[in-house]
Amino acid sequence: MPSSRHLRARFSVKCDFCFRQCEIPPSGRGWCAVRVNRGGAIRSLQGHRLAALAIDPVEKKPLHHFLPGSLTLSLAQCGCSFDCDFCQNADIAKALVAGEEASPPSIVTLALEKDLPSISFTYTEPLVWQDYMIPVAEAAHEAGLRTVMVTNGAFSQASLERLLPLIDAYNIDLKGDEDFYRNVCHASMAPVLDAIGRIAAHGAHLEVTTMLIEGIHDEAMVRRLSGLLEEAGVKVWHLTRFFPRRRMARCQATGEECLDRLYAVASEGNIPHIYKGNTMYPVPMRCPSCGKVLERMAFDGRCPHCGASIYGLWS
């Protein structure tokens, strides 16, 4: 399957799975290190081997407006297209191969046996293992299951077109401004913003997450990000606390006061639903029209107080 989706140039092959669009020489690997040019076709080094498989609350993705209260079958292979200094899952994101084999049909069978309504591609970067994600998503839809993708959002144009019909809900990380992407993530912001706008326009369910690092993310940056997300049509934004990891292991964790301050700044804009994550003090869902607190569980999508329609996929 993957070989028909790549352009050949002399002895190299162009991978179109992510924004880097690597030209991979014979026997060479892409930037992600998990895809290799074998005989003029790009193949995964992982086959059907998984780096992680678990059952999670869908809120852990985080998704607060998508099948609230449900559990999701979460899975990952190794690999990522970024190199974030603060990566929370570098042990598997930067590994090459791991775990036991699990065929796409077996994943769907497991979800059905556990009576789970969705399958989530998460923990690492699903874009670099599309050749596994796509057949799982196709089989999931055939079985009546929904699909979730938790991603850095740095799609290539071709990969976004491939995946839009196959993914029902996205959580995309908007990590910071362009300087932050360049200096801390060693990546680019532009393809992420493009994907956020295109997914929102397409109508797939979309929530965005920004992890706030105290001393780096400030009021000015949060205001800029808020404006960009509002312009893109984003309705749900998660602001989460940073905890030290990887190259930033000696940095301080983001304090609750910092999270509260930046949450207040974000709330000055017009994104209707903003949540705090990795916190002892989460905020409830509120109706953006009347301001009343709403119960997400068993919610039908309309405010019982004023009748306003609330963004989300509720059942």
Helix (H, G, I), strand (E, B) or coil at 221: helix
Report yes or no: 81 and 152 within 8 Å, Cβ to Cβ: yes
Number of neighbouring beta carbons within 10 Å of residue 152: 25
Structural domain boundaries enclosing 315 = 284-315
Residue 157, Cα to own-chain centre: how many angstroms?
A: 17
Same structural domain for residues 295 and 146? Answer: no
Helix (H) or strand (E) holding 224: helix 219-232
Same structural domain for residues 198 and 314? Answer: no
Q: Is 84 annotated as a binding residue?
A: yes
Strands (E), 162-204: 169-173
Same structural domain for residues 31 and 93? Answer: no
C-alpha angle with apex 226: 224 to 227, nearest 5 degrees?
A: 65
Same structural domain for residues 258 and 192? Answer: yes
Using the 3D structure, point to which of 44, 63, 78 is the last residue of a domain: 44
Report yes or no: 151 and 171 within 8 Å, Cβ to Cβ: yes
Same structural domain for residues 129 and 253? Answer: yes
Same structural domain for residues 23 and 74? Answer: no
Same structural domain for residues 164 and 311? Answer: no
Same structural domain for residues 6 and 133? Answer: no
Q: Compute the distance between CA of residue 269 and CA of residue 283 in angstroms, rounded to an integer.
A: 17
Q: Is 32 annotated as a binding residue?
A: no
Instruction: Please say whether the dihedral angle defined by the alpha carbons of residues 52, 58, 62 and 66, taken in this order, is positive or negative.
Output: positive
Q: Is 87 annotated as a binding residue?
A: yes
Q: How many CA atoms lie within 13 A of 155 on its CB side?
A: 22
Q: Compute the distance between CA of residue 246 and CA of residue 87 in angstroms, rounded to an integer.
A: 6
Q: Compute the distance between CA of residue 50 and CA of residue 77 in angstroms, rounded to an integer.
A: 5
pLDDT at residue 11, rounded to an integer? 82
Distances (CA, A) of 49 to 101, 128, 164, 188, 277: 4, 14, 24, 29, 31
For the chain, residues with pLDDT lower than 50 are 2-7, 9
pLDDT at residue 5, rounded to an integer? 46
CATH number at residue 65: 3.20.20.70
Same structural domain for residues 205 and 251? Answer: yes
Same structural domain for residues 163 and 35? Answer: no
Same structural domain for residues 91 and 161? Answer: yes
Number of structural domains the chain divides into: 3
Q: What is the DSSP string of 37-95?
A: EETTEEEESSTTB-SEEEEEEGGGTT-SSBSTT-EEEEEE-S--S---TT-TTHHHHT-
Same structural domain for residues 40 and 69? Answer: no
